[in-house]
Amino acid sequence: MNQIPLTQILFVSTALFFIGIYGLFTRRNLITVLMAVELMLNSVNINFVAFNKYLFPGKLDGIFFTIFIITIAAAEAAVAIAIIINLYRNHDSIDAEDATEMKF
């Protein structure tokens, strides 16, 4: 079976990363922003796994890193959602533009 070339996998991960960036910059809804961040993390995960598989097939370092990232991402999502919930309680909104108390 013909293997998929590395470049194509990298292409997917880059695309994913930039979709994440795009979402991060344009969305005002904090949940969506959080999702965009998750997308970016996952694109990095894909890179790790792909490089590990194609360049150093005998090692597991890349895969361990991926697991770490997933773990941290989960923790981060928990914290972020807690913040968002608190924000919602205070503002009745989860729009990033509404949280302006500390501005200026």
Partner 1 sequence: MGQSFYLFLIPLLPLASFLLLGLFGRRYMNNAAGIIGTISLLTVTILSLMVARDYFFHSGKVNGIYQPLTAFKYTWLQFSPHISIDMGLLLDPISVMMLVIVSFISLMVHIFSMGYMKAEERLGTYYAFLSLFTFSMLGLVLSSNIFQLYIFWELVGVSSYLLIGFYFDKPSAVAASKKAFIVTRFADLGFLIGILILAFNAETLDFGLLIQRLTNTQSSWSIAIGSASFMGISALTWGLVLVFAGGAGKSAMFPLHIWLPDAMEGPTPVSALIHAATMVVAGVYLVARLFPVFSVDGMSLDIVAYVGAFSALIAALIACTQTDIKRVLAYSTMSQIGYMMFALGVSKYSGEEGLGYMASMFHLFTHAFFKSLLFLGAGAVIHMVHSNDMKDMGGLRRFMPVTHGCFLIACLAIAGIPPFSGFFSKEEILTAAFHQNKLVYGVGLLVAGLTAFYMFRLYFSIFWNKQNTASGGIEVHQPHGEGSMTMKLPLVILAVITVFAGLVPFSTYITADGLPLETHTDIGFSIVPVLLGIAGIAIAALLYGSKNDRPEKIAASLSGLYRAAYRKFYIDEIYLFFTKKILFNGIGRPAAWIDKNIVDGLMNEIAGVTAKTARVIKGIQSGKVQNYALYFFAGIAGLTIMVIYFLGKGLS
CB-wise, 32 or 77, nearer to partner 1? 32
Mask 41-80, x = binds partner 1 (CB under 8 A)? ----------------------------------------
The pair of structure tokens assigned to 80 is 């972020």
* Residues shown for the chain: 104
Q: Which of residues 23-42 bind partner 1 (CB under 8 A)?
A: 24-25, 28, 33
Q: Which of residues 4-23 bind partner 1 (CB under 8 A)?
A: 21
Q: Does 83 contact partner 1 by CB under 8 A? A: no
Euclidean distance between CA atoms 32 and 2, whole angstroms: 37
User: Residue 104 carries which side chain, given as an amino acid letter?
Assistant: F
Euclidean distance between CA atoms 15 and 81, whole angstroms: 26
| Count of CA atoms in the C-beta half-sphere (13 A) of 80 | 17
Q: Does 2 contact partner 1 by CB under 8 A? A: no
Euclidean distance between CA atoms 15 and 36, whole angstroms: 12
Q: Which residues bind partner 1 (CB under 8 A)?
A: 21, 24-25, 28, 33, 96-97, 100, 103-104
